[in-house]
Amino acid sequence: MRIIRSISLALIFLLLFSSSSKADSIPNKMHLSLQLSPLALIDFYNGSSYRIGSQLVITENIAISADFGGYFKNFNYLKNNKGFYSFVAFKYRLPNSPQSWISLSYSYKQQSFNYHDSFEQDPNTPVVVHVQKYVNCLNLNYETNAILFRKSYINFFAGVGIRFRNVQSLQTKHEFDELKDGGDSQTLYFVLIPGKNTWLNLNAGIRLGFYLF
């Protein structure tokens, strides 16, 4: 909780400061920036992860960005969590809006972890569910930047797309309903149920960017 409060206070400060900055304060001819994803550290759904990326402005209206990262071993109900995450987006700057973009993104995640619980019919016998996930996502996003200082910014993004999910975990979906602690959790349902599925994907978050040159 202390980490969450610290990150939240830092983001509030950055947002307040950015409101007094002008969009045209970006230095001219800055093409490459480093990007960090602070909210990935407190992702209760997928587990705490570290991500670092970059953005390259190719032409005045075209850019490409990419993120890569991995997972911290234990967070919330995810134990022995490991894997990697990758993301790439092709971006088009909107006319007459220097800080707004439309992007087409692709992300890939490979993740494995252990979930500890028991079944309702035998609550005194511990059960360890090993989960292996492969997830591919395609999204259409709207992005906008808020300038912090002369060479840094916050990137806000949100979008909608499609998620291709392949999960190996329980033997059947019915077993999820029999879990003593997790069986009533809607969040755990999306995390643990096995099978190959195609779902609607909603995408939103922020990145901190730092111009290099």
Domains of the chain, residue spans: 2-211
Higher pLDDT, 187 or 105: 105
DSSP 94: P
Give dist(CA 199, CA 2) in Å, integer. 34
Give 46's pLDDT tier (boundaries 50, 70, 90).
confident
Average pLDDT, integer, range 185-206: 91
DSSP 37: -
Give dist(CA 146, CA 156) in Å, integer. 8
Architecture of domain 2-211: Beta Barrel (2.40)
DSSP 3-state of 48: coil
Average pLDDT, integer, range 145-167: 93
Give dist(CA 7, CA 3) in Å, integer. 6
- How big is the CA angle at 202 (ends 37 and 86), to the nearest 5 degrees? 45
Strands 62-71 and 195-211: unpaired
In tens, the pLDDT along 164-177 reads: 999 999 988 889 99
CB atoms within 10 A of CB 100: 15
End-to-end CA distance of the chain: 36
Residue 43 Cα distances to 28, 50, 141, 165, 180, angstroms = 35, 10, 20, 18, 24
In tens, the pLDDT along 66-79 reads: 999 999 998 888 89
Give 150's pLDDT tier (boundaries 50, 70, 90).
confident
2 pLDDT higher than 70 = no
DSSP 3-state of 29: coil
